[in-house]
Amino acid sequence: MYVGPVLGFLVDRRLALLGIGVVTAILAAAWRVMPMIPPLFWPLVLSFAAVAMQIWGGFGRMGMRLQLAEEQLRDMAVLEERLGLSRDLHDVVGHRLSAIAVRAELAAQQTRGLAPEGADEMLRVAQMAREALGDVRRLLSR
């Protein structure tokens, strides 16, 4: 009576069902052939069916848990990819914007006495670079 459930643990559901069917057929044939079997037949069939149903329900629960775990793994892979992209973007774009801001401020200091309008414009460029760097950081921190 345990062949079907054992098959259910060891192989896929179709073979477990086949095992359940074969064992049931064997029990039914034994009941027909041997007269002393009838008193034991129905308790055996019912206990076999109860065990098989428990195993079958376990398969369903396992399948649902497996599906949930696969969905979580997919979500985690997407989050990991986004995190990697955020790090790379911050490293590359953040570094470049910081360099632009520093160089623009340096150019403004060096041209302050020679071309005041150019120095003011370089300070605006530095301010825009710092604002863009802040925007990048805000976007990546979401």
pLDDT digits (tens, 9 = 90+) for 22-69: 777 776 776 677 666 556 666 666 667 767 766 776 777 788 889 999
Q: What is the pTM of this model?
A: 0.46
Least confident of 1-5, 57-61, 114-118: 1-5
Residue with the bigger pLDDT between 38 and 122: it is 122
List Cβ<8 Å contacts ≥24 apart for 101-110. 101/125, 101/126, 101/127, 101/129, 101/130, 101/133, 102/126, 104/129
Rounded to whole angstroms, what are the CA distances from 87 to 76, 78, 140?
16, 14, 8
- Judged by DSSP in three states, 122 sits in helix
| pLDDT at residue number 35 | 61
Q: Answer whether 48's CB lies under 8 Å from 7's CB.
A: no
- The pLDDT > 70 percentage for the chain reads 68
Token pair, residue 63, equals 């399948």
| pLDDT at residue number 78 | 94
